[in-house]
Chains A and B, each alone.
Chain A
Amino acid sequence: MTTAATLLAEGANNPLMPHLSELVVGSFAFLVVFIVVGKILTPRIQKTLAERTEVIEGGIKKAEDLQAEALRTLEQYRAQLAEARQEAARLREEAREQGAQIKAELREEAQAEARRIVQAAHAQIEADRQQAVVQLRAEIGRLSTELAGRIVGESLEDEARQRRIVDRFLEELEGRPEAVR
């Protein structure tokens, strides 16, 4: 009882005893600061900081997107370049093949032409030979007849007889293989 009374009496000067008026003023001050700083102003700066983070992140994102886009384009160009190179190589190869083919065709054609010419020449020669043979046959017949006539001393005017003689003579000649050829 006495201790409590002493404490109460000393209350004003005991540094560990809060004054009621100061409790009230302290609460009031804290409330004002909490409302103004905490409830009104802190959300504003929080919003701004969040926005700033967003803007910075957006900027980074944008830069990343641009870089990705650039990489994609580069990749595309590379692919196109490789394709073009391949295409060029293919065309070259094709041209080479075509050239070779054309060369082969030309050669074939030339050979065919040569063969044809040779054949034609052969035919001509054969024809000429035949003609020569015919002519020769006639000439030789006439000459032989003439010669024989001179030698025999009589004229073998009779056409039919003459021809027969000549033919016989020629057949004999042809019987010898080396004679005319």
Chain B
Amino acid sequence: MTESTTLAASVHRNGLLSRLSAWFSQERVFRWIPFVMVEGMFILILIIPFALTIYISFLRWRANRPFEQAYLSGLRNYESVIADSGFWDSLGRTFYFAGAAVVFELIIGFFLALMVHQITRGRRFYITILLIPMMVVPVVAGYNFSMIYLDSGPLNQILAPGLNLFDINPRIRWLSNPIAAQWAIILADIWQWTSLTFLIFLSGFSALPPQLINAARVMGASRRQTFFWVELPLLKPAIVIAVVIRSMEALKMFDPVVLLTFGGPGTSTQTVAYYLWEQVWQFNKYSFGAAASIMLLIIFSVLIFFGIYLIGRQGKAIERGEA
């Protein structure tokens, strides 16, 4: 008798399973599965936190009190962000860091690409070497730089002979002098991300049609004329793309600050990303941080849309053959 019950149960279970799998394998059901999974992920990790951030930005709440005591307080958080000089100072500093870093990354990356493009022998080797910094995990890069910048570290050792000539104390305190610390962070960013601009420019150089350069040569153009009249104008799209991509990334600069200076000395190396992190995770000012990040989102969005507009305009110009 027991045998027949288990048999019946298994038939029942199998029936249910097969009915379920039959239901799933209908096309009208099945075609929703990938969609639901992707969209579900999207809602879970983007939409919900984003909605919560907006909600929290209108609350009066600090994480050292229970959430039940939080209450809506209108735009008060936004008012205090606008009134907060720390926010604006760090935002200004971010633009300063990003601007300086991106300018150097573009110039150095451009010249490296120009040189590597002309190498025929061992080109792969140089490309590999020059791309390594980009592949290094930012935390590792930051940690390495924290050692390079030690008072008795390798950077000062290398600089010492030169500095002695000018009677400058060779123990430059890279991370505790405000200006030196700012440039220490910019330098770390340049080291890591010049690889990317190099890569963009190298692909730009490789995409230059050789016939155009030959045509210029046959017409007697010098190397300089060919570069400024033919190659550089044709590289404009690559330049715009490099500027936009690097600027977007550099405005979010965070890792080198945490790893090298913790925003110090004082607040001299606080970027806006670091400032937000500190307000929220160190001072528990959740609702203030939420409001500040929403404002930052608006400011950066405007910049990014402008960047996308520039890339798009460049793309259309290429289609029209104007480049």
Are these two chains actual partners, yes or no? Answer: no
